Amino acid sequence: MYGVVLSRRDFREADQIITILTAEEGKHEYIARGVKKIVSKNTSHIEPSSLVSFGIAEGKKEWSYLTNVQPVESFFYILQSLSTIHMLGYSLDAMLTMLRDGEADSEMYHFFISFLRFLDTHASSVRLILLDAFLIKLFSHLGYHPSLDACVVCEKTYTDIGKEFLSFSDKKPSFYFAGGGILCASCTIEKQRIGESMYPCGIKEINTLRLLVASSWQDVFSFSIDEEEYRLVHKLVYEFMLYHSERTWADWKQIQTV
Ligand SMILES: [Zn+2]
């Protein structure tokens, strides 16, 4: 099988538990024997983010043991700069936290590899917005696809919401987390009146969010966005992620700028 290593941790005296994402078995833990013994020929390439090929031997107590691990692709350039290391670490953590064990999903597997390849080939000029795109795409894929085509309450279209906002700047739409998508200005007022929480946003942020969800890595990378607009859409992505997670997450933009 081919798989991307998501993490490794010590287990027993000389072994490690390696979490690998494959198209066939999803995210899965395997035991690598003897990896802590100085240099083990089989396993020196088992580093998080490496793409490897491997065999499995079934062991006792439901554990699967890795055999014959071979490096296939390692994303060398990602590890050469702090900003890409940061993005890699965050994406690995998100995959480890959000994916359920043993759920085969070949689209998810290819999605993650495409992200790693893009980061690797653009490592010297990468922008943080790619991580925002990665996270919103990941959550969309996991079933939290934000509804951005129409108001989730009255179904007013995105185009009409946009027109309204351009004609009357106080007619501000919002993002309604509990409803999973956008609200037009009138529904925003209505939901606020009954005390529900939403995230007020301009049509530009909604537009950028649409792009992050639907565009290729290359299009996100080339997308021109000013710092203030990025700050707003980033906040929306971050709040969206917190809303749909059981744990808290550090703000990746804050970590980046410290
Ligand atoms: Zn509405």
Single-letter amino acid code for the residue at 213: V
Q: How far apart are the C-alpha atoms of 142 and 121, rounded to whole Å?
A: 26
| Distance, CA of 244 to CA of 238 (rounded, Å) | 10
Distance 182 CA to ligand 1 centre (A): 8
> Please, which pLDDT band fits residue 30 given cuts at 50, 70 and 90?
very high
- For ligand 1, the distance from its centroid to the CA atom of residue 178, given in whole angstroms, is 14
Q: Is 108 helix (H, G, I), strand (E, B) or coil?
A: helix
Q: Is the Cβ–Cβ distance between 177 and 162 less than 8 Å?
A: no
Distance between Cα 210 and ligand 1 center (Å):
18
User: Average pLDDT, whole number, for the chain?
Assistant: 91
Per DSSP, 1 falls in state -
Q: Cα(153) to centroid of ligand 1, in Å?
A: 5
User: Taking a C-beta distance cutoff of 8 angstroms, is the pair 6, 90 a contact?
Assistant: no
Residue 66 tokens, joined: 């890795």
Expressed in angstroms and rounded, the spacing between residue 150 Cα and the centre of ligand 1 is 8
pLDDT of 137 strictly over 50: yes
174 Cα–ligand 1 center, Å: 10
Residue for token digits 């490592």?
A: 123
Give the distance (Å) from ligand 1 centre to CA of residue 95: 34
- 86, with CB counted inside 10 A (0-12, 13-18, 19+), is middle
195 Cα to the center of ligand 1, angstroms: 16
pLDDT for 258 beyond 50: no
**Lowest mean pLDDT across 19-33, 39-53, 143-157:** 39-53
pLDDT band at 42 (very low <50, low <70, confident <90, very high): low
Burial tier of 48 (Cβ tally within 10 Å: 0-12, 13-18, 19+): middle
| 37: pLDDT strictly greater than 70 | no
Distance 188 CA to ligand 1 centre (A): 7
pLDDT digits (tens, 9 = 90+) for 240-250: 999 999 999 99
The 10s digit of each residue's pLDDT in 6-24 is 999 998 888 999 999 999 9
Three-state SS annotation for 129-198: HHHHHHHHHHHHHHHHCCECCECCCCCCEHHHHHHHHHHCCCCCCEEECCCCEEECHHHHHHHHHCCCCC
CA of 184 to the centre of ligand 1 (A): 4
142 neighbors 136 (Cβ within 8 angstroms): no
Nearest to 230 by CA among 210, 203, 200, 253: 253
Q: Please, which residues have CB within 8 angstroms of residue 89's CB and are 6 or more apart in sequence?
A: none
The lowest-confidence range among 19-23, 31-35, 97-101, 125-129 is 31-35
Span from the CA of 231 to the centroid of ligand 1 (angstroms): 26
CA–centroid distance, 211 to ligand 1, in Å, is 22
CA 197 – ligand 1 centroid, Å: 15
- State the distance from the centre of ligand 1 to the C-alpha of 138, rounded, in angstroms: 27
Per-residue pLDDT at 135 exceeds 70: yes
Q: Measured on CA atoms in the order 186, 189, 192, 198, is the torsion positive or negative?
A: positive
Q: The domain 127-258 is classified under which CATH number: 1.10.10, 1.20.1440, 1.10.3470, 1.10.357? A: 1.20.1440
pLDDT given for residue 141 in this prediction: 96
CA distances in angstroms from 155 to 122, 145, 150, 187, 201, listed in the order given: 40, 17, 5, 10, 18
Mean pLDDT, rounded, for 127-132: 96
Non-local (6+) Cβ contacts of 116 within 8 A are 4, 49, 51, 75, 78, 88
pLDDT tens, position by position, 161-210: 999 988 988 888 999 999 999 999 999 999 999 998 889 888 889 999 99
Distances (CA, A) of 49 to 85, 92, 158, 176, 185: 11, 8, 38, 35, 44
- Per-residue confidence (pLDDT) for residue 44, from 0 to 100: 60
Specify the range with the lowest mean pLDDT, choosing from 62-66, 160-164, 223-227: 62-66
